[in-house]
Amino acid sequence: MGACDFETCGFLLLLNTQREREREIDMASFLWSLCLSFLFLVSGARSAQPKKPVDVQFSKNYVPTWAFDHIKYFNGGAEAQLILDKYTGTGFQSKGSYLFGHFSMHIKMVAGDSAGVVTAFYLSSQNSEHDEIDFEFLGNRTGQPYILQTNVFTGGKGNREQRIYLWFDPTKAYHTYSVLWNMYQIAFFVDDVPIRVFKNSKDIGVKFPFDQPMKIYSSLWNADDLATRGGLEKTDWSKAPFVASYKGFHIDGCEASVNAKFCETQGKRWWDQKAFQDLDAAQYKRLKWVRQKYTIYNYCTDRVRFPNTPVECKRDHDI
Ligand SMILES: *[C@@H]1O[C@H](CO)[C@@H](O)[C@H](O)[C@H]1NC(C)=O
């Protein structure tokens, strides 16, 4: 610092120390971010993000369930469209039954005016006291948001509805909807974001699906008696046909015969491992984000229907 009067000197001195401090702060935050990315890498290695599915053709894992002529195939069966018109909807199901695994589908929802129309993607066992894991997409008038409803049935008992808005328009592009199911939890994902978890709470008296193989189903049908604004909005058939598009068709599960009571390779598959037995901290953070920003309805907080909070709710971080 050359010659300068007291004020400028003081100012320059101040500036210098300020710069140094900034440099120190820069250094500290650099080290900090280095540290964070290291932590991220380490935890990333143990992260509970389900294994990426490999897209296959429809016919590898699925068959139509009803109204075969209302399913159209593209690109050699790599893509399929379900069509709903005033005569019928349609649906398909997995060839195999599964006990645990990761079940995902890329779906593009019915675009435009889809009020009254429901698209479902779910797992279900076939018996009377059945288990079921549901994604249900409730259509809406053009420009109005879809609602995603999820539910879990165990031993024939459901009544565990949750409803959220999505943070994107599900009619514009394919998004991935998946279920991770193992002995410890059922986690619902939208793309990579966990939107719901149902933990195995057998120890506190809540049934958990574990011994009834499930098939995977999807369908598109008219439910204008209840789907949109509680049935107020009717399906506008002048907008038919309604089309939902599918890709992916991968199934990563333990295949079991319909009457099997256990999976032959129980405990040995990737979804059985430690990293998938619970969501990790980052995933819980995202789940919380969904809860706070997008929840419309949660049975866990419905005091009218359930004066006593269902016991699993606490464990599922739902209350
Ligand atoms: C449809 O849009 C209306 C208006 O924004 C909204 O109140 C409703 O929750 C939406 N979804 C359904 C399924 O009714």
Domains in the chain, CATH or no CATH each: 7-315 (2.60.120.200)
- Mean pLDDT, range 167-196, rounded to an integer: 98
Tokens standing for 75? 């690109």
Tell whether the model's pLDDT for residue 211 goes beyond 70: yes
**Spatial separation of the C-alpha atoms in residues 13 and 164, rounded to whole Å:** 57
- Strand 71-74 and strand 185-190: the pairing is unpaired
Q: Which residue among 114, 117, 140 has the greatest number of ligand 1 atoms within 8 angstroms of its CB, and so is best to mutate?
A: 140
Strand partners of residue 122: 134, 217
First to last CA, the chain: 62
Span from the CA of 238 to the centroid of ligand 1 (angstroms): 20
pLDDT of residue 48: 75
List all residues 6 or more positions away from 45 whose beta carbon is below 8 Å from its beta carbon: none
* Complete DSSP assignment for 55-120: ---HHHHEEEEE-GGGEEEEGGGTEEEEEE-SS--EEEEESSEEEEEEEEEEEEPPPS--TTEEEE
Query: Does ligand 1 lie within 6 Å of residue 147's CB atom?
Result: yes
List all residues 6 or more positions away from 279 whose beta carbon is below 8 Å from its beta carbon: 48, 185, 187, 194, 197, 287
Span from the CA of 296 to the centroid of ligand 1 (angstroms): 10
pTM confidence score: 0.86
- Mean pLDDT, range 10-23, rounded to an integer: 44
Determine which of 4-18, 46-60, 97-111, 161-175 has the lowest per-residue pLDDT on average. 4-18
Q: Which residue among 228, 233, 235, 294 has the greatest number of ligand 1 atoms within 8 angstroms of its CB, and so is best to mutate?
A: 228
SS3 143: coil
34-84 confidence digits (pLDDT tens): 444 444 444 444 567 999 999 999 999 999 999 999 999 999 999 999 999
Strand partners of residue 64: 92
Element housing 13 (H / E): helix 6-46
Q: Please, are residues 231 and 118 in contact by the beta-carbon 8 Å criterion?
A: no
Q: What is the mean pLDDT of the chain?
A: 89
**Spatial separation of the C-alpha atoms in residues 68 and 172, rounded to whole Å:** 26
